[in-house]
Structure 1
């Protein structure tokens, strides 16, 4: 169990923290934009 977790973490670490951070930031931005759009459309109606 722990060995599998460690190997998975190692493979993720080799990708680079910056890439993961960038992907997560982009995902948050997209989700935030969709929520903002839906809220604005609902308020406009």
Structure 2
């Protein structure tokens, strides 16, 4: 029974990690609409 509890804990931790990664990736993609650093290559 103890192993079952540990499995559930690991499962929830894994799910939380996936959600956090998804949120971070979405935030990064949203904060960078076009270019990370504007450079004047035309000059």
Instruction: Tell me the secondary structure at the aligned position of residue 18 of structure 1.
Output: helix
* Coordinate RMSD, CA, aligned: 1.2
> Structure 2-normalised TM-score?
0.66
> Structure 1-normalised TM-score?
0.63
> Is 1:31 the counterpart of 2:32 in the alignment?
no
> Larger % of helix: which?
1
Which one has a bigger Cα radius of gyration?
Answer: 2
Structure 1 ranges of 4+ moved more than 2 A: none
Deviations 1:2-45 (CA, angstroms, capped at 9, x unpaired): xxxxxxxxxxxx36211000000000000110010000000111
Q: Which runs of 5+ in 1 are unaligned?
A: 1-13
